[in-house]
Amino acid sequence: MPTQNLTYRKAIYSALDKVLSESEKTVFLGEDITEYGGAFGVSADLHTRHPSRVIATPISEGGFMGVAVGMAMTGYRVVVEMMFMDFMTLAFDQIVNHAVNVHYMYGGQLTCPVVIRTPAGGYRGYGPSHSKAMENMLFGVPGLKIMAPSTVQDAYGCLLTAVADNNPVLFVEHKLLYSLEEAVDLAEIQPVPFGKARIVRQGSDVTVVSHSYGAHLAQQAVMELEDEGIDAELIDLRSLKPLDIETIVESVTKTGSLVCVEEGNVTGGIGSEITAIVAERCLEYLDGRIIRVGRGDTPIPASLASEGLILPDKDTIKAAIRKALRRL
């Protein structure tokens, strides 16, 4: 396959097409994923390519999540699309009490290979129930794995890994990434392993850790700070759970300060956990500060202007980095 300009959306589509083509025992469930093509256009024509295994469900998130668990326990690999991440709350019982427990609580007799794909995030003026990045809500749930790729290449490589895994995987796709384009050769993309972050930029002054769309904001911030003589190391987590602790610790040990960037709540966020790990593992190496950047503890307002004040942006990240280096 030649190198081509591909969107993030099309990379997800291509990975789904590949896994559905490779095994009759893989199915894809979700709302409006057939003729409509998926609310964000990801599924497109998959239903014509795999007619009986791309199944449009009723609007029953809790119900079809449970159906996915039942199918996974009886020999299928299931990819579920939750139309908006916010709607996952309707399926939390099946995720938190059922899917993630299957392997452990049944003593290893059964597995639950389900991937929950979901468009997440704000910056679009959709208001409180259609804008959240809430991977932090499921971050502390044992038995779950979480991936949140930020690039086209990683979207493809991470989804292949997620579907091949024998455990439930939450797969976060930020809505603003769908139209991102990169030149890639799909045939050359290797599956991205769990627990392996990507160092986007090497640097020696400060460690910046982010994921998903936040990694792009952080990258802009870091590049602009080059002009101020700040040499930041940027880590894109890709896999949140398991977390690549070693890469983070190694980096902070070198730089001595840390900025965590995420779109979800600061309170109880991914950055809170990373901060705690860094405090446990490398406190003696810190000469700068630890700063968390994320959404304040408010719901997300529909007003684009207000939303822009509440969600992190390039400038808040830049300010946080200067603060971490005590350059304010």
Among 7, 43, 94, 251, binds other proteins (CB under 8 A): 94
Of the two residues 40 and 76, which places its CB atom closer to other proteins in the complex?
Answer: 76
Which region, judged by CB under 8 A, interacts with other proteins, from 71-79, 150-158, 228-236, 296-304?
71-79
| CA nearest neighbour of 207 among 238, 227, 236, 229 | 236
Known catalytic residue at 47: no
Interface with other proteins, residue 165, by CB under 8 A: yes
Among 11, 12, 16, 69, binds other proteins (CB under 8 A): 69
Among 51, 106, 129, 204, binds other proteins (CB under 8 A): 106
Burial of 188 (0-12, 13-18, 19+ CB in 10 A): exposed
DSSP character for 256?
S
Q: What sections of the chain are H helices per DSSP? A: 8-22, 46-49, 61-72, 92, 102-105, 135-139, 152-164, 212-225, 245-255, 270-282, 304-310, 314-324
Interface with other proteins, residue 166, by CB under 8 A: yes
CB 139 within 8 A of CB 241: yes
Contacts of 315 (CB under 8 A, 6+ apart): 221
Of the two residues 49 and 326, which places its CB atom closer to other proteins in the complex?
Answer: 49
Interface with other proteins, residue 158, by CB under 8 A: no
Helix 8-22 to helix 152-164 angle, to the nearest 10 degrees?
A: 30
Torsion, CA 122, CA 311, CA 132, CA 241, rounded to 10: 110
Site size for other proteins (CB under 8 A): 43
In the complex, what is the shortest distance from the CB of residue 321 to other proteins, in angstroms, rounded to a whole number?
35
Among 145, 174, 175, 211, binds other proteins (CB under 8 A): 145
Among 76, 87, 92, 285, binds other proteins (CB under 8 A): 76
CB 39 within 8 A of CB 83: yes
| CA nearest neighbour of 232 among 269, 257, 249 | 257
The vertex-227 CA angle with 225 and 229, nearest 5°, equals: 80
In the complex, what is the shortest distance from the CB of residue 72 to other proteins, in angstroms, rounded to a whole number?
8
Interface with other proteins, residue 27, by CB under 8 A: yes
Interface with other proteins, residue 50, by CB under 8 A: no
Catalytic residue selected from 47, 50, 61, 81: 61
Judged by the rule CB under 8 A, the positions of this chain that interact with other proteins are: 27, 52-53, 55, 57-58, 60, 62-76, 93-94, 97-98, 101, 103-111, 142-143, 145, 164-167
Q: Catalytic residues, which ones?
A: 61, 130
